Amino acid sequence: MIPASRLALTTGLLWFVAANLLGLAMGLGLLPYTWRPAHAHMELLGFVGLMIYGVAYHALPRFRGVVFRRPGLALFQVILANLGLLGMALAWGLGWDKPIFGLFAGVSALAGFLFALLMLEVLWA
């Protein structure tokens, strides 16, 4: 397993635990509902997204029968995905200004774009 897969799967599971605890805290009224989009994205981008990244980096090259040529870029992509999501979640929850949210949202979007490019290369190059 390449480091990108291991980091994506590990952080995906950590996002899952953190997002569930956040959902629980919101549901119990310990945290305000301003955290709702943070919870939603920690579950969907964090848990679901990173689990998909981790499995895809391992499985897609094998389905295609090729060697994955960009493990370093994949690791960078996983780090970007985590950093972007962390900033987005905190910005939502703590009500940070729009430009700061936008910066992290841009990093998240870039990570998603990079993942799509890397996997399209595996599928078609």
Query: Cβ neighbours of residue 45 under 8 Å, at least 6 residues apart?
Result: 81, 85, 88, 108
Residue among 118, 106, 18, 37 nearest 76 (CA): 118
Question: Phi first, then psi: what are they for 84, rounded to 5°?
Answer: -60, -45
- Between residues 4 and 81, which has the closer beta carbon with respect to ligand HEM? 81
**Binding segment for ligand HEM among 7-15, 40-48, 54-62, 68-76 (CB under 6 A)?**
40-48
Answer for which of 26, 50, 75, 118 binds ligand HEM (CB under 6 A) is: 26
Reading the block at residue 66, the tokens are 């090729």
Per-residue x/- mask for ligand HEM, residues 63 to 102, rule CB under 6 A? Answer: ----------------------------------------
- Between residues 3 and 102, which has the closer beta carbon with respect to ligand HEM? 102
What Å distances lie between residue 49 and 13, 57, 73, 93, CA to CA? 11, 12, 17, 20
* Chain residues that interact with ligand HEM, rule: CB under 6 A: 20, 23-24, 26-27, 36-37, 39-41, 43-45, 47-48, 105, 108-109, 112
